[in-house]
Amino acid sequence: MIDITSFSILDKRGDRLLDDIDLNIDTDELTVICGRPGSGKTLLLKAIKGIVSEGLKHEGKIETEGRIGLIFQEPRKQLVRRNVKMEAAFDLENLCYERREIESKIHEFAKFLDAEYLLEKDIDEVSHGEMTKIALLSTMVTHPEIILFDEPLSTLDHTNRKMLLELIRRLKQNGTSIVIAEHDLRDIVGLSDRIILLRDGKISCDGRPKDLKKELHREGVKIPFSWELEVLGGEYGAGQD
Ligand SMILES: Nc1ncnc2c1ncn2[C@@H]1O[C@H](COP(=O)(O)OP(=O)(O)OP(=O)(O)O)[C@@H](O)[C@H]1O
Ligand SMILES: [Mg+2]
């Protein structure tokens, strides 16, 4: 559960980067946050996780229930240890799990993510897509109740995208609240319950994906081809009147 009330983020000049956001997100829901670059998607996800960068001020309130995992847009920034397995163990160690349990959780998820081959590597040896997998691994091992993904699909190839979509489908089935920032809806739309469209730090639309086709297209969000045809058909039809 995420409860956001009159929340704003201001830069040092007083400009509102997020502007008066009111938003409730229930459990079991998969919400996608869309919007052009700079619309505030990352700022909003980080704020839900409780992170506001130095030099920025905030107003309003965000209340959450349950442990929150965030997969950063640039996963390198969230990895704090040198070795992959040590990184994956970090949160579990902080939660005081026993060594044997830590090992077994890491191997269980690494297997699912097809990332076992990465466990003995150093973080600096791995590719950007592999880094996303490691960020997923170290987040998933603690079973967060809320998971925030910041454009996770763009760094992955087709096979790994399919793996991540399957992971997201399972998480949703288990009742995890999921929020994903994405500018390409094509892979994720089938799993989405709700779309929030941000524009200049404000919520400009909030609704079911199929009710927002026109707005999403207008805002430059990549939508399924059939939707695009529908939107363009509607515009063409309107032009004929
Ligand atoms: N630490 C900061 N200091 C000042 N301005 C910032 C800071 N972080 C973000 N901004 C500004 O806030 C706005 C929203 O940024 P944000 O990163 O949330 O956009 P985004 O929607 O995630 O974009 P993208 O699709 O490119 O990831 C941008 O105009 C950005 O320049
Ligand atoms: Mg971003």
CATH number of the domain residue 115 falls in? 3.40.50.300
For 139-150, give the secondary structure using H, E and C. HHCCCCCEEEEE
Q: Does position 170 have pLDDT exceeding 90, yes or no?
A: no
Q: Is 33 in the pocket of ligand 1 (CB under 6 A)?
A: no
- The helix (H) or strand (E) run that includes residue 178 is strand 177-181
| 238: confidence class by pLDDT, cuts 50, 70, 90 | low
Alpha helices in 62-181 (DSSP H): 84-94, 99-112, 128-140, 158-173
Q: Is 17 in the pocket of ligand 1 (CB under 6 A)?
A: yes
Rounded alpha-carbon distances, angstroms, from residue 194 to 56, 117, 168, 188? 29, 36, 15, 11
Q: Is 46 in the pocket of ligand 1 (CB under 6 A)?
A: no
- Collapse the DSSP code of 62 into the 3-class scheme (helix H, G, I; strand E, B; otherwise coil) and give the result: strand
**Alpha carbons 10 and 17: distance in angstroms, whole number:** 6
Which pLDDT tens digit goes with each residue over 13-27?
Answer: 999 999 999 999 987
* Number of domains comprising the chain: 1
Q: Which ligand is nearest to the CA of 14?
A: 1
Q: Is 42 in the pocket of ligand 1 (CB under 6 A)?
A: yes
Q: Whose CA is nearest to atom 24 of ligand 1?
A: 37
Sign of CA dihedral 73, 138, 114, 170: negative
Q: Is 237 in the pocket of ligand 1 (CB under 6 A)?
A: no
**Alpha carbons 143 and 29: distance in angstroms, whole number:** 17
- pLDDT at residue 202, as a whole number: 98
Lowest mean pLDDT among 24-28, 35-39, 60-64: 24-28
> φ, ψ for residue 179 (rounded to 5)?
-125, 125
What integer is the mean pLDDT of 126-138?
Answer: 90
Residue-range definition of the domain harbouring residue 64: 2-240
Q: How far is the CA of 41 from the centre of ligand 2 (A)?
A: 5
Q: How far is the CA of 236 from the centre of ligand 2 (A)?
A: 33
Q: Does position 182 have pLDDT exceeding 80, yes or no?
A: yes
